[in-house]
Amino acid sequence: MIVTQEEVTSRFFRIGAGGAVAGAIHILTLLLGWYIETDGGVILTLTGYDFIESFLFSIIGGLMAGFSLLTAYFVKRLGAIKAVIGGLTTIGGLLALSSPVYVYVFKILEVNLRGYPDLGFFAAIFTGIIELGIGALILLTPLKKEIVYPVEATTATVYPPPPVEPSASFPPTGRRAATATVAHIDIAEDVEEGVCTICYYPLTSENAVKCSACGALFHRDCIDAWVNLNHFCPSCRAAIYG
């Protein structure tokens, strides 16, 4: 399925908005408890903003997805929009995911704090993964350009009616010898029975016409369609005008 550049751009912005929402929720996890310390019989809840590193990583990482949308708004090329939204959202997701991992590895395990991770810790990891996944999805989306060549407008060519020439297949013998070179279509009066020479369906007095040269009978619609294509009587081959 071929979509326009505007539709692809709109999809990138909608997907990027999901990354911005994930980044905003990740920043809110700083307010939750990340680790519960149980040393010395005292239970102490450590939040995300208690550590300066996690605070900076989470704030910067969470804001980068929203900043990517703002930056891409001023970009015109589709490839650049993809790179800006996807790249900044991916970097933001990496920073957001690094925040709880860094705190757990370099702040908690290094000092041998006793305790266990709290809800905020897992929420920070989950939102960081979502933001990272959305950025990677945008970067991995292929762009295929369809080359559409301009089509020049063509004008219909009007061909004149064919010249009237004697036909070798109809020798001027018998009834055909008396046919006129040029004929016209007249209304056939007092038609009681007969069939159309073109479609072979019965005729009525309301729709019957005839060739002025040979007297062949036709439906009005049949002979009109025939003359528009061939310009001669199907019975006597006389050129028909009017």
Taking only the tens place, the pLDDT of each residue in 95-152 is 999 999 998 888 888 878 888 899 999 999 999 999 999 999 999 988 865 544 444 5
pLDDT digits (tens, 9 = 90+) for 17-62: 999 999 999 999 999 998 888 876 778 888 988 889 889 999 999 9
Among residues 125, 121, 120, 118, which one has the least CA distance to residue 44? 118
Element (H, E) at 228: helix 220-230
pLDDT tens-place string over residues 220-239? 888 888 888 888 888 888 88
Q: Which fold has domain 174-240?
A: Herpes Virus-1 (3.30.40)
What is residue 159's predicted lDDT score, i.e. its pLDDT?
A: 46
Q: Which residues contact 198 (CB under 8 A, 6 or more apart)?
A: 218, 219, 222, 223, 226, 234
Q: Name the DSSP letter for residue 184.
A: -
Q: Do domains 5-140 and 174-240 have the same CATH topology?
A: no
Spell out the domain ranges in the chain: 5-140, 174-240
What pLDDT, on a 0 to 100 scale, did the predictor assign at position 111? 77
Q: Which two tokens stand for residue 102?
A: 């860094």
* pLDDT for 89: 95
E strand or H helix at 7: helix 5-28
Q: The CATH number of 5-140 is which of 1.10.3720, 1.20.140, 1.20.1260, 3.30.70?
A: 1.20.140
Q: Which of 87, 161, 174, 167 is nearest to 131 (CA)?
A: 87
Instruction: Please state, rounded to an integer, the average pLDDT across all residues of the chain.
Output: 82
* Ranges of H-type helices in 29-142: 52-72, 78-102, 119-140
